[in-house]
């Protein structure tokens, strides 16, 4: 038995997160007014290219109002709220971090989406759902934190209904050593990257076939160039969630992509 999930939980644990979020919210929106997904996007989309990437993956996976979605490793719930509010999907979010789930529930209630989006603490390797419960599984910037990739993908396959879609968007290993800290790991002890080729093999061994497969590294680099040319985001941003180190983590992520230490992959898969 490995202590990897505990170390990952520790990496994302965040004392006082809810209070920090509430106080950051007052800088953009006074009082208890309802929040929109657009207002929250700089804070709650915890992956490269933010809400743009979520929208593209949802479209590639063909999600709509009838889709029962599991957002696995949902963070503070931005992608789940986006899917519910723009497509009308019913979404369940699961995450290892209790702090993130508390924040996700608060933000969802403030956004008026609690009737369509629910959250619970859980480990992607032991999902508390019957087989064939969901029509789609979203996994964005999570797999690189999961050491046991074959169990992860087998769990996704188990809880997907026949004909369901598995939409994944994750970092992959490049050709050189990764520079830490990065947003998912302060050092190599919580980082379990695979190359694009090994990711594909692990998915195929778990019984998936790709219906969409795209290397997004260049698109991400262009996005980073545009973001870094602008002024640093004030008010709502992911530094509120991850603390002052987040700027260095993000700069290292961009450097790793630029120097072919990391790549970025988006894919939609179906059961064989
Ligand atoms: C970089 S964040 C991405 C959050 C979210 N998917 C998003 O894009 O906004 C990675 C998330 O994966 C979660 N995570 C990592 N390993 C997990 C596991 N074994 N089970 C469930 N969640 C996990 C972390 O707690 C964290 O919230």
Residue 77 phi, psi (nearest 5)? 95, 10
CB distance 141 to ligand 1 below 6 Å: yes
* Residue percentage of the chain with pLDDT more than 90: 88
Neighbours of 34 (CB within 10 A): 11
**Mutate which of 95, 127, 156, 168 for ligand 1 pocket (most atoms within 8 A of beta carbon):** 95
Ligand 1, atom 10, residue with closest C-alpha: 142
From 3-7, 44-48, 182-186, the region with the lowest mean pLDDT: 3-7
- Residue 87's alpha-carbon distances to 68, 212, 239, 254, in angstroms, are 11, 20, 28, 31
Cα(101) to centroid(ligand 1), Å: 11
C-alpha to C-alpha distance for 141 and 72, rounded to whole angstroms: 10
CB distance 8 to ligand 1 below 6 Å: yes
pLDDT value at position 230?
77
Q: Rounded to two decimals, what is the model's pTM?
A: 0.96
pLDDT of 231 over the 80 cut: no
Using 50, 70 and 90 to split pLDDT, how confident is the model at 232? low
Cα(142) to centroid(ligand 1), Å: 5
E strands along 114-247, which residues?
Answer: 117-121, 134-140, 160-173, 208-215
Q: How far is CA 11 from the centre of its chain?
A: 15
- The whole-number average pLDDT for the span 240-258 is 94
C-alpha to C-alpha distance for 50 and 44, rounded to whole angstroms: 8
Cα(94) to centroid(ligand 1), Å: 8
pLDDT value at position 84?
98
Q: Which atom of ligand 1 is nearest to the CA of 46?
A: 9
CB distance 124 to ligand 1 below 6 Å: yes
- The whole-number average pLDDT for the span 229-258 is 89
pLDDT in tens, 50-102: 999 999 999 999 999 999 999 999 999 999 999 999 999 999 999 999 999 99
C-alpha to C-alpha distance for 61 and 208, rounded to whole angstroms: 14
pLDDT value at position 2?
58
C-alpha to C-alpha distance for 97 and 74, rounded to whole angstroms: 10
């Amino acid at each position: 038995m490995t202590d990897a999930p505990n170390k990952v939980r520790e990496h994302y644990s965040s004392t006082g997160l809810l209070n920090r979020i509430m106080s950051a919210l007052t800088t953009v929106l006074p009082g208890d007014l309802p929040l929109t997904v657009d207002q929250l996007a700089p804070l709650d989309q915890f992956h490269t290219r933010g809400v743009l990437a979520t929208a593209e993956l949802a479209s590639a996976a063909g999600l709509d109002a009838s889709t029962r979605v599991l957002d696995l490793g949902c963070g503070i719930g931005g992608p789940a709220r986006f899917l519910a509010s723009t497509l009308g999907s019913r979404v369940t979010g699961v995450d290892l971090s209790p702090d993130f789930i508390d924040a996700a529930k608060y933000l969802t209630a403030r956004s008026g989406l609690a009737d369509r989006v629910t959250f619970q603490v859980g480990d992607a390797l032991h999902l508390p759902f019957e087989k064939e419960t969901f029509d789609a599984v979203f996994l964005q910037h999570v797999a690189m934190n999961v050491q046991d990739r074959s169990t992860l993908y087998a769990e996704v396959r188990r809880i997907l209904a026949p004909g369901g879609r598995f939409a994944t968007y994750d970092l992959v290993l490049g050709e050189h050593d990764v520079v830490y800290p990065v947003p998912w790991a302060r050092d190599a002890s919580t980082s379990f990257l695979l190359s694009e080729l090994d990711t594909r093999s692990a998915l195929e061994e778990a019984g998936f076939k790709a219906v969409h497969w795209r290397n997004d590294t260049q698109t991400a680099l262009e996005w980073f160039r545009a973001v870094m040319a602008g002024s640093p985001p004030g008010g709502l941003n992911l530094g509120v969630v991850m603390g002052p180190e987040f700027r260095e983590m993000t700069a290292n992520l961009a450097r790793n992509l630029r120097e072919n230490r990391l790549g970025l992959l988006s894919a939609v898969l179906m059961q064989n």
